[in-house]
Structure 1
Amino acid sequence: MKNLVRQINTPSRVVVVAFLAVVLSGTALLSLPIAVEQNRAGTWTSALFTATSAVCVTGLAVQDTATHWTIFGELVILVLMQIGGFGIMSLASILALVVSGRLGLRARLNTQAETKTLGPGDVRRVIAGVAKVTLVVETLTAVILSVRFVAGYGEPLGRAVYYGIFHAVSAFTNAGFALWPDSMMRFVTDPWICLPLALTVVAGGLGFPVYAVLRQNWRRPSRWSLHAKITVGMTAVLLTGGTLAVTATEWNNPGTLGALSPGLRVMAGFFHSTMTRSGGLNSVDVSQMHENTWLISDVLMFIGAGSASTGGGIKVTTFALLAYVILAELRGEPDVTAGRRRVPEQLQRQALTIALLSVASVAAGTFVMMMLTPFKLDRVLFEVVSAFGTVGLSTGITPDVGTSGHLVLTTLMLIGRLGPVTLGAALALHVQTRRFRYPEERPLVG
């Protein structure tokens, strides 16, 4: 345990301290009178909640972003989103380098093979690569959105560019903040707004290690690393499955998809499925969805996006590895294999540890929120999973859970944003060898 604490106190502590420092700085800036509209009352709890939500790229809000904050306040949120998204991609990738540098030779070579060009000493290269990916994707999305706001909605050029940049950053960082009270609901029938935002969320949720692989072998999937194959494959499966499930359950719901044409229903279902991966924007009223759709969303939000990405959740690789473990056990196979590669037992335990501790965090958060608020389980669970998965979708109860509830959600956002990354790195570095083994005994299971 002491060794594990020391591992957490080295590279992982840097990540935690850096994020907390940015959150506190953002809280201070959002507490300034210049950040709040004159007819609005600002509090330190709303500033803390908003700063945490922006840095953790969650998108949950206790105040309407469009009407509560001034241009200065919105710019602070924009910068915090960019720092949070860029920082988590960079720091998570750098932690992978730290892990590869601290493991044995064979494990180090395997780790470097997974990230291709990434090796010890490549920190500057990683940061430059993340910056290039971020700049290219956000610029392309901002241009498309800006042109659409001018051509389709008659917005002045300056305002259109501002809207385009803000929502491009919000989408790529998977932050979920919007400059309209109804998020993206007014654009539910506009593919030129919804589809670029959805694809940008997907791009932000892949992670830099995947881009490092695709940059060299994007035409030859057979040469992709196992991590890239799992991330891309699970992303496609979850997007497709989520789209089908959400569209089917909400097809005849007049409060969501029922009033749209068939083609637009599918697009809205795809948009919602994409945003549950950690995007946080919504083109239909989430509070009007059926309870079974909330449950589907809970599952998708809990799984989240790719490792070392701007998305949250336990990550698709963790979920996929647990699925491979179950499949191997059902088949009675001695080894867990994925893509003709054997998965080390240590990695299996890491995935199981992260998943179970995440379940415990969600369960504890839900229990506390049920004690503090009058809302029913389905709405509270949705809000808790959204906070922990740093998603930002809401059934509408976040502003009404009170100061204590806001502090609980703030804590969950921090745990959900930093927990899987730092815990994964600490577990990977915490490798011990024993010179003895205890006698084996088999307790009953099931």
Structure 2
Amino acid sequence: MARDLDEPVEASRRFRITLKKLRKKGVRGSTPAKRIRRVSLTDRLFGHPGRLSMMYFAVLIVIATVLLLMPFATQTGEITSFPVAFFTAVSALSTCGIQVVNTSSYWSFFGQVVILFSIQLGGLGVMTFASIVALGISRRLRVSQRMLTANELGTNKLSEVKSVITVVLTITAITEALTFTLLLPELLRVNKNDAGRTLWQAIFYAVSAYNNTGFTPDTSGLHVTNWGVGLPILVSAFIGTLGFPVVLNVVQCARRRQSPKHWSLHTKLTLITTAILVGTSLVWFLIVEWNNTDLFPVDDLSMKFRRAMVAAVMPRSAGFDISWVPGVGSESKFFMSIIMFIGAGSSSTGGGIRVTTFAVIILICGAAFTGHRDVTVFHRRIPRRIQMTAISVTTSCLSLVAVVSMALMFVTDCSLGDALFETCSAFSLGGYSVGVVSAGNPASQFILAATMIIGRLGPMTIAYSISRPMAPEPIRYPQENVIVG
């Protein structure tokens, strides 16, 4: 009994000794509380990369909008209306490219420079650039930020995130530099040896093409009639739609001299699904729109194939050469809406639900129809978590497209087909337009601007930014079937 009574006294004595030791080391009673408050503020900022990305994106929108509101941003010296400046800033930063005013004739050189920088910063990816900002401030990435950035860049090893960010920047610089170099000779001939104009157009096209943005520095669009200009832009835009993880994986396997069978499952699904989508689109336009003079103004077979290839590749994310879009039939507009909704590859400069999400949905349906429990492809089983994510993303994005389409019909009195086309283009950052949004209708501009922001940030990023850690379920209830279908 005496020993039990002495235990509280002994514990109190040990606590006093420990406290004296801490005070000798310079740790005061109030210091830990202050330190906790300071760290807590930083953790709230950098511990939630989704929120940091939204803040970064919002700051860029404000800066770009203010710069475009300046009188010297326009060729006439007039102050641009706020809806037009805001919409243009969002369209450039989201790498969408839908325009309500002509870029070459309305914006001055300063305004075009603002647009170009916005395209570049937006194309690098909100999550990637937010990680660079955090790395520059804190000199290291926190674990929570590494986890989301690893998912964004397609790597499973947290230690590789820093190196992957470096590779992302390197791939971007190399691709844009090669596109710039390939464009110079032919653009110089097109511009009749005007070196200054050629250099500016080559830089603008190189950045805009790789980042899959439909902004152009002149009224010529894609120069589809000139394959010396159109082909480098087409190839650069196609590479941009694949996504950083795919390009990185293919380059790494090529350096190791490994065959395509060593590619990751993500790379295989992306490339095969992309090839199917592009091939299907090419056949569609060649068959359905063969006699359409807006898309095929001449009967030359090689020129028809070029234009069909542009129509097959560009609507998935890049809105170059949009002059022919209003002239296609309703069937083609609906088909293009589906292609744009699927979009480009994960962690790419494009948008949409992503081709791998679409592939997983198709694989889930195939497994359900054939009575298989597991969803497998290339002798690999897709985890249940990935399946649920694909279904959730697709469902939420379909709901978004439906709501925005109805909103556009209310504010513009447009048809369902045109509203659906414009919504899918804004959500997928495709950049194509049939004229639903206009400078004289601010409501339509704000609706599509919000859609582009969601398409750029991505449903998963927004969901992460507002989500809380999931608590373990203490009880698992009995299972019971529900009749569906």
Provide TM-score, normalisation by structure 2: 0.82
Match of 2:459 in 1: 420
Residue identity opposite 1:313 in structure 2: G
Match of 1:378 in 2: 417
Pair 1:67-2:114 in alignment: no
Residue identity opposite 2:381 in structure 1: R
Match of 1:203 in 2: 239
CA distance in 2, matches of 1:11, 1:35: 33
CA distance in 1, matches of 2:301, 2:142: 47
CA offset at residue 374 of structure 1?
Answer: 2.1
CA distance in 1, matches of 2:162, 2:98: 33
Per-residue CA deviation, residues 185-230 of structure 1 (Å, 9 max, x unaligned), is xx22221122211111111111111122112213411111111111
Q: Contact 2:295/2:324 (CA < 8 Å) preserved in 1?
A: yes
* CA RMSD after TM alignment: 2.8
Residue identity opposite 1:142 in structure 2: F
Structure 1 unaligned residues grouped into runs of 5+: 1-5
Pair 1:45-2:94 in alignment: no
Q: Contact 1:88/1:308 (CA < 8 Å) preserved in 2?
A: no
**326-335 vs 238-247, which moves further:** 238-247
Provide TM-score, normalisation by structure 1: 0.89
**214-223 vs 262-271, which moves further:** 214-223
Match of 2:293 in 1: 254
When residues 89 and 163 of structure 1 are mapped into structure 2, their CA distance, relative to the original with a 3 A threshold, is farther
Q: Contact 1:7/1:426 (CA < 8 Å) preserved in 2?
A: no
Match of 2:406 in 1: 367
Q: Contact 2:191/2:197 (CA < 8 Å) preserved in 1?
A: no
CA distance in 2, matches of 1:39, 1:379: 34
The match for 2:280 among 241, 245, 253 is 241
Match of 2:476 in 1: 437
Name the SS for the 1:395 alignment partner: coil
When residues 251 and 284 of structure 1 are mapped into structure 2, their CA distance, relative to the original with a 3 A threshold, is farther
CA distance in 2, matches of 1:430, 1:324: 30
Match of 1:157 in 2: 195
Residue identity opposite 1:128 in structure 2: T
Bigger Rg, structure 1 or 2: 2
Match of 1:3 in 2: none
The match for 2:73 among 27, 35, 54 is 35
Counterparts of residues 149-188 of structure 1 (less than 5 Å): 149-181=187-219, 183-184=221-222, 187-188=223-224
CA distance in 2, matches of 1:336, 1:7: 38
Identity percentage of aligned residues: 33
Q: Contact 2:240/2:349 (CA < 8 Å) preserved in 1?
A: yes
Structure 2 unaligned residues grouped into runs of 5+: 1-43, 135-140
The match for 2:64 among 13, 26, 36 is 26
CA distance in 1, matches of 2:202, 2:48: 39
Matched residues, number: 431
The match for 2:165 among 122, 127, 144 is 127
Q: Contact 2:393/2:460 (CA < 8 Å) preserved in 1?
A: no
Per-residue CA deviation, residues 257-316 of structure 1 (Å, 9 max, x unaligned), is 153412211211111221111111126521111111111110111011111111111111
Name the SS for the 2:294 alignment partner: coil
Counterparts of residues 272-291 of structure 1 (less than 5 Å): 272-282=311-321, 284-291=323-330
When residues 89 and 300 of structure 1 are mapped into structure 2, their CA distance, relative to the original with a 3 A threshold, is farther
CA distance in 2, matches of 1:51, 1:178: 15
Match of 1:80 in 2: 118
CA offset at residue 39 of structure 1?
Answer: 6.2
The match for 2:363 among 324, 338, 354 is 324
**46-55 vs 223-232, which moves further:** 223-232
CA offset at residue 122 of structure 1?
Answer: 3.7
